[in-house]
Structures are given as structure tokens and as C-alpha cells.
Structure 1
Amino acid sequence: MSVGLVWFKRDLRLRDHQPLAQAAQCERAFGLFIIEPAWLQSRNGADGNRRPTPVRTCCSRAWAGPIG
């Protein structure tokens, strides 16, 4: 069985993403995105680029832990 793994570092696009297109050719494909604590604490990333608000919100909630 062929398995594809895509590590989404800073590029979260789903269209026009060559590694994702290659992984999609496998029988099973997995995506990996690692949340870095420093990434959540800063308004801008280390490279000065603003992070997408929906992703930041989702990651911040996950980092805070379960609600309730």
C-alpha cells in the first residue's frame, strides 16, 4: 500500500500544491501541520508575515485545551 505524507509548513493551500497533488496519487494520504507555541503568541510570524485569522483562531482554541 502506498502512503503519502504532506507536511504543511507555512503553505496551507489546497489548490496548486504540488506535494499534496503527489500524495493524492497514493492509496492513503495524510496531512501534517505542527502548531508552534511562538507562532500563536506573536501577531506576525518570524518572517513578518501575518497569519490567517481563521487558522490562528482554531489553533489558539486547540492550544487552550478543552472547553468545560
Structure 2
Amino acid sequence: MNMNAVGIDVSKGKSMVAILRPYGEIVSSPFEIKHTSSNIQSLIAQIRSIDGESRIVMEHT
């Protein structure tokens, strides 16, 4: 089973997101999302569409 790491750097109006698998395999290069309902729903759908289990780590700045 694949274990995905979703890193989210949260700031006031937007967040930076990167998704990796073990050994540094890049699932998604860092990208920015704004804190809108539609963008957050899209991020959730993207994470759910990735094979394997995902762990999400959030850091605030």
C-alpha cells in the first residue's frame, strides 16, 4: 500500500500544498490554493483520488 504525505503550509488567505510518496516520489509539486470553499473541496477530491492512504500535515506561518 502507498502512503502519501500531504504537506500544507497554511497562511491567512492561502496555503501551499505538496504531495509526496516514500523515497521522495513527487505526486504533486507545490501549488497554491486560496481559502475558498470550492478550492478546498477540489483539494479534498484530489487527495481522495490518489491511490493509497494519505496523511496530512499542516503548519501555520
TM-score interval (norm. to shorter): 0.3 to 0.5
**Would you tell me which structure has more strand in proportion to its own residues?**
2
Report 1 or 2 for greater relative contact order, CA contacts < 8 Å, sequence distance ≥ 6.
Answer: 2
The normalised TM-score by structure 1 is: 0.34
Structure (1 or 2) with the greater helix fraction: 1
Instruction: Tell me the TM-score normalised to structure 2 length.
Output: 0.37
